[in-house]
Structure 1
Amino acid sequence: MNSDNYRVSDPIKLVNFETKETIEDAKKKLKKLRKKISKLQDTMYAEGKYSVLICLQGMDTSGKDSLIREVFKDVNARGVEVHSFKVPTELELKHDFLWRHYIALPAKGKMGVFNRTHYENVLVTRVHPEYVFGENIPTAKNVEDLDDGFYHDRMDRINDFENHLVKNGTIVLKFFLNLSKEEQKNRLLRRLNLPEKNWKFSAGDLKERKLWDKYMFCYEDLLNRTSKEKAPWFVIPADDKPTARYILADILYNELQKYDFKAPQLPKKIADRIVEFKEQLENE
């Protein structure tokens, strides 16, 4: 699979991206691929030089939770950390908008998955600018202050943030799960029709659905302004869940292979005595 087919490299229009792609035997292919991802992460952990930040964004019901479960289920528990960012806490609001994301970054050797990310600060807050007032920013006195320039400045600071991470050994890969409005409707109905899924439904989902076009405008703008060579965005067709999971996993694996992770070698003074150490153990 060619990752460039999904990468945002030039200015894009979301309407030109398919929301549905179907790959035959996607589940079986993913099962094989995630074992390769696990092995690769083991080597990355042993090397201890890089960390990986995987950012997931998408509309409600786009499948972020199940994707995380299925793609990373074979990765050693010590090697992957998942953070789901909800409404900022009182403490988080007392810091700048990137603070809570910075302290959740993965250590070297580990993969970190952000389920919703620092991009919520130029997405949800752009659709609902009144949320910004909770940050108590001196220059944000009214809604008129929260114009396009305000959010574009935030995007510039996000670019700086990610550039800093890359220069210090974090591999940044960002995925937008591109769901159609019709498929979201089907998934919301499924939540209502299946008693075991009812708990996932919120009346707020329908309110946000009415703002679909505004969300798509904001997504398109942030994708174009923040997809960089070293911190790229990939647009993943999300209407078919098994295919979306496989595509993301394939891109992840192909992108990480470029770094040629290598486990450290034993020091020569230890390697030269391997036979001796084996004999000691065997003769106990």
Structure 2
Amino acid sequence: MVRKEILDALRKYTDPFRVTNGQDFRLNDFDPSDTLGLKMHKDEAVQLLRRGSEWLAMEQEILYAQDSWSVLLVFQAMDAAGKDGTIKHVMSRVNPQGCDVVSFKQPSVEDLSHDFLWRYATKVPQRGHIGIFNRSYYEEVPVVRVHQHLLDAQKIPPDLVRANIWTERLADITRFEDYLTRQGVVILKFYLNLSYEEQKKRFLDRLDKPDKNWKFSASDVRERRYWNDYMQAYDEAIRATASKAAPWFVVPADNKPFTRLIVAAAIVEAVEKLDLEYPKATSEQMKDLAAAREELNAQG
């Protein structure tokens, strides 16, 4: 299948959830249970995801060999939306030597002694690599905005903590992403859109099944009290930072197989658009290859 046919096939999965202009964006316009009318069996979804993962693995090998572009995948979501499982399944066939996953936890003392983007900038993937941010610099707006006491630990001069600090931070993030894209970093941002009801079901599942108890934290339930605050914060964050160069994908997260399928399709589509090819040997390299062949044949 030629690249145009591949891209046309993928767009039917990605276009409905892609946000490149946030001017009229509203999170309420996206249904967390949407499956585009697809009524596939779980086995069928697994097969489609496997094909997407294999496809991605082939493209990632060329990306690594070319050593020019890099890809940054940003995952944001409420608890239990399935970020870990999505990353695991979508990236299952990618060579780990060319893929880096960073899970950002609470900032360290060193992190808090720098600007809010510092620890994220140091983890941007190198050329030829796919980098995955499991939570990211976007935590510095919704989470810190909802729990504003966290801002105190960042030691910002009081005069600079103004009423419009969140607007300023989102503008800083937009400029940061614009800078990265101009350096050859392809940025895809995924908000796994989980419903309030489905989150409760998944929390109860973690409580009911002993092998899932480790996933549960009492703080998860406490955070549900701020659900509407988080929705408003994500609404404004996506509206302010969606762009053609660094699009958001608001992916329905109530159906895990469908979530993974959409994420895989978006990544394959983005890498496919780069029209990557294996590097061609220069005339000097061809001479070296011929000399190496001659020496190997001479060795018997």
TM class, shorter-chain normalised?
over 0.9
Asked if 1:194 corresponds to 2:213, the answer is no
Q: How does 1:37-186 map to 2 (within 5 A)?
A: 37-139=56-158, 145=161, 147=163, 149-186=164-201
Aligned match of 2:5:
none
Structure 1 window deviating more from structure 2 (174-183 vs 15-24): it is: 15-24
SS of 1:87's equivalent in the other structure is coil
* Identity of matched residues, %: 38
Is residue 20–residue 246 contact of structure 2 (8 Å, CA) maintained in 1?
no
Runs of 5+ unmatched residues, structure 1: none
Counterpart pick for 1:266 among 253, 258, 281: 281
What is the aligned length? 280
- By how many angstroms is 1:110 displaced? 0.1
CA distance in 2, matches of 1:273, 1:111: 31
Q: TM-score, normalised by structure 1?
A: 0.94
Aligned match of 2:225:
210
Counterpart residue identity of residue 247, structure 1: I
Counterpart residue identity of residue 168, structure 1: Q
Counterpart pick for 2:237 among 222, 226, 247: 222
Cα RMSD (Å): 1.7
- By how many angstroms is 1:52 displaced? 0.6
- By how many angstroms is 1:89 displaced? 0.6
CA distance in 2, matches of 1:140, 1:92: 21
- By how many angstroms is 1:269 displaced? 3.8
Is residue 71–residue 125 contact of structure 2 (8 Å, CA) maintained in 1?
yes
* TM superposition outliers: structure 1 runs of 4+ over 6 Å: none
Is residue 133–residue 140 contact of structure 1 (8 Å, CA) maintained in 2?
no
- By how many angstroms is 1:276 displaced? 6.5
Counterpart pick for 1:246 among 252, 257, 261: 261
Is residue 188–residue 246 contact of structure 2 (8 Å, CA) maintained in 1?
yes
CA distance in 2, matches of 1:87, 1:69: 22
Counterpart residue identity of residue 235, structure 1: V
CA distance in 2, matches of 1:270, 1:136: 54
